[in-house]
Structure 1
């Protein structure tokens, strides 16, 4: 009885291992790193959770990310937060030089799919007094 049960679990384990090896080999050939371009400007309140969640979900999906940051002149702590995260996670973050524009970046990666996330197009929140 125990020998039959061990055979069943052994065959099941071997089949799972073979499927993981086969799909892992197949996916490594097809997938390259996803290119993500984050355009920021004064986004210190949301940039950290955005980068952390991007890399968390990329690990779950098994997809490597290459992140490029294009800063449009932040005057807050946005760039310091990004630099700290790049050292913490050993992320592949490239910095766009100020003389490079969005068109130059997209032209350089013309044959790849690039995900562009424009975080700086939100309107500045105006303070509304609670009491008149």
Structure 2
């Protein structure tokens, strides 16, 4: 019986040590100090959920409140359904449906937001070139 208790305590201690080391290593990588994420989506079902969940998780681990805005162009996949499902879970998630004719205006607005609001991160997740392009970060 004593061996089981000692084994469990040793396993717990080892787990805590590994968890602490992984956090130290993770936070040594420079993390963006953004508290708001703007995602531009269109046929982005393969990446939108991961982006939203990881952004919320990272901010939660750092003890910060955050928000996400999805600018969604009409698409043929399940991107909008994923965003609506996540909207039920996260109260600070908002989404806007936009027509394709407004692409230029939205991109200009995203550039303006990135330059003026330093704590906002803008990512373009639209798939082009048969999915070969990575997400585009609006940067200065």
The TM-score with structure 1 as length reference comes to 0.57
Give the 5 Å matches for 1:20-99.
Answer: 34-95=35-96, 97-98=98-99, 99=102
Provide, for residues 66-120 of structure 1, a one-character-per-residue CA deviation record: whole Å limited to 9, x for no partner: 2111123211110111011011222332426445623235546763122111111
Deviates more, 1:92-101 or 1:37-46: 92-101
Give the equivalent residue in structure 2 for 1:10: none
- Cα distance in 2, alignment partners of residues 107 and 96 from structure 1: 20
Mapped contact 2:43–2:75 kept (Cα < 8 A): yes
Distance 1:97 1:123, change over 3 A: closer
CA displacement at 1:48 relative to structure 2? 1.3
The alignment's C-alpha RMSD in Å is: 2.8
- Cα distance in 1, alignment partners of residues 125 and 98 from structure 2: 18
Provide, for residues 24-78 of structure 1, a one-character-per-residue CA deviation record: whole Å limited to 9, x for no partner: xxxxxxxxx7221101111112211221111111100122222111123211110
The alignment of Structure 1 onto Structure 2 pairs a total of residues equal to: 95
Selected match of 2:109 from 104, 112, 120: 104
Moved over 6 A (4+): none
- Cα distance in 1, alignment partners of residues 113 and 54 from structure 2: 27
Distance 1:41 1:66, change over 3 A: same
Gaps of 5+ in 1: 1-32, 127-132
The structure with the largest alpha-carbon Rg is 1
